[in-house]
Amino acid sequence: MQVFGLSVVEVLVVLVALAVFFIPTYVAFSRKVENRWLVLAINVVFGGTVLGWVIALILATRKPAAQQQAA
């Protein structure tokens, strides 16, 4: 069986690869990180490199800055 000229196994491999590729973006949006759109941009542009993917993941998982309280 083929889908778009690819076997079902190939399609599944591509879908799993895309899911792994976008983990930093998913994490950033699910945690409502302040710079989630930056994480998405870094992930899309530089995510193909291991370093870009790791940077996006670090930005997505870092602790939010403490908000200053008005006195």
**9-54: per-residue pLDDT in tens?**
888 898 999 999 999 999 999 999 999 999 999 999 998 899 999 9
Q: What is the mean pLDDT of residues 51-71?
A: 80
Total Cβ atoms within 10 A of residue 11 = 14
Residue indicated by tokens 């800055």: 65
Predicted confidence at residue 64, as pLDDT, reads: 72
Reported as a pLDDT band with limits 50, 70 and 90, residue 8 is confident
pLDDT of residue 3: 66
Report the number of distinct structural domains present in the chain. Answer: 1
Coil, strand or helix at 2: strand
Residue 70 lies in a domain: no
Please indicate, yes or no, whether the overall pTM of this predicted structure exceeds 0.75.
yes
Q: Which domain holds residue 34?
A: 22-63
3-state helix, strand, coil in the chain (%, to 5): 65, 5, 30
Evaluate whether residue 44 is within a structural domain.
yes
